[in-house]
């Protein structure tokens, strides 16, 4: 028989080794579980700040400031979240290719890449770890007619709250002009055939949705009545139903009641959301009237103002 007298105590050694292994596995599971949880918190911060930045961008605000100021409303690893301005990029999201171009113009998207330090409980490999999350949000303006509104009257800002009358080429009564939103930064004139494509089906157009517009963007405009006359023909024929529908109209840095001012290339200074209340096709010149239903600057409504959504 084998002498087993020198093997006493081996069970204790095995128990110790197994206990150490089990403790290590448990510690690893705890820290990995915390990593998963904290990464979810970090992703929530990335998503929320990207949305805040894109929403501000759509309203003409400071996207970077909006994103960084929103971050502390969330917590990560038990601490108020923070976001560095360098972790916020403003650019352009191309829906057709699902790509984000930092600095792309016209800008319609914000990407945030916050980083957070995770304090490990057991720290078998390191006392801390770093996780970085990414989120991109973009906005698309509400469906709109290819029109812009004048922005000033005798040097003061035009107040549209009392109602909107879109008058074109009317012996110094002009308040609106047709716009070619996708003309490009180098364009200086309007192509009427392109403007017609933006009109709703039934109104002589194809319902083409223009690229998202932002404050500061420059667009070529013209105040001719040609396109409006075609709209009126469709209205009279019963195929063009504009009344009761809501559209988002950019306001540009052009003087009201001045036909000369509502031509050329102008910059967008804001937005007015308007419900069409009538189309006058009997009097010359023809006109479109409406009522402001929301202020995109002070009381934004997702149904009528540019709204942001996560795209990545």
DSSP 282: S
User: What pLDDT does 11 receive?
Assistant: 62
User: What pLDDT does 274 receive?
Assistant: 81
- What separation, in Å, do the N-terminal and C-terminal C-alpha atoms of the chain show? 72
The strands making up 135-140's β-sheet, listed across from edge to edge, are 99-102, 88-94, 109-112, 135-140, 307-310
User: What pLDDT does 299 receive?
Assistant: 46
Question: Contact at 8 Å (CB) between 219 and 268?
Answer: yes
153 to 12, 76, 261, 266, 283: CA distances (angstroms): 92, 50, 11, 16, 25
Q: What is the radius of gyration, based on Cα positions, of the chain?
A: 29
Q: Residue-wise pLDDT tens for the chain (312 aa)? A: 555 555 555 666 566 666 555 555 555 555 566 677 778 888 999 999 998 998 888 766 789 999 999 999 988 878 888 999 999 999 988 776 888 999 887 678 999 999 988 776 655 556 667 888 999 998 766 556 888 999 998 878 888 877 788 888 766 788 888 998 877 666 778 888 888 888 888 888 888 777 667 777 888 999 888 888 888 888 888 898 888 887 878 889 999 988 788 899 998 887 777 888 888 888 766 788 888 775 554 444 444 456 678 888
**Residues 6 or more apart in contact with residue 299 via CB below 8 angstroms:** none
Question: Contact at 8 Å (CB) between 266 and 148?
Answer: yes
User: What pLDDT does 194 receive?
Assistant: 86
């Amino acid at each position: 028989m084998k002498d087993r007298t020198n093997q006493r105590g081996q069970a204790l050694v095995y128990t110790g080794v197994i206990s150490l292994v089990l403790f290590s596995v448990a510690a690893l599971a705890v820290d990995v579980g915390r990593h998963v949880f904290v990464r979810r918190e970090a992703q929530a911060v990335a998503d929320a700040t990207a949305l805040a930045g894109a929403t501000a961008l759509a309203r003409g605000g400071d996207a970077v400031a909006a994103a960084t100021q929103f971050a502390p409303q969330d917590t990560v690893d038990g601490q108020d979240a923070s976001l560095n301005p360098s972790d916020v990029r403003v650019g352009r999201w191309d829906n057709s290719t699902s790509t984000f171009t930092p600095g792309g113009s016209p800008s319609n998207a914000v990407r945030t890449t916050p980083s957070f330090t995770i304090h490990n409980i057991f720290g078998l490999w390191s006392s801390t770890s770093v996780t970085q999350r990414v989120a991109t949000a973009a906005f698309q303006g509400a469906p709109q007619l290819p029109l812009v509104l004048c922005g000033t009257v005798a040097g003061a800002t035009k107040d549209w709250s009392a109602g909107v009358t879109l008058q074109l080429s009317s012996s110094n009564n002009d308040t609106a002009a047709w716009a070619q939103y996708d003309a490009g930064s180098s364009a200086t004139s309007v192509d009427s055939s392109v403007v017609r494509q933006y009109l709703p089906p039934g109104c002589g157009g194809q319902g083409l949705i223009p690229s998202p517009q932002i404050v500061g963007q420059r667009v070529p405009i013209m105040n001719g009545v040609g396109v409006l006359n075609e709209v009126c023909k469709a209205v009279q024929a019963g195929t063009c139903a504009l009344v009761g529908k809501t559209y988002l109209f950019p306001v540009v840095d052009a003087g009201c009641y001045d036909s000369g001012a509502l031509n050329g290339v102008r910059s967008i200074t804001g937005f007015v959301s308007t419900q069409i209340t009538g189309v006058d096709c009997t009097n010359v010149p023809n006109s479109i009237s409406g009522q402001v239903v929301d202020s995109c600057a002070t009381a934004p409504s997702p149904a009528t103002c540019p709204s942001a959504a996560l795209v990545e």
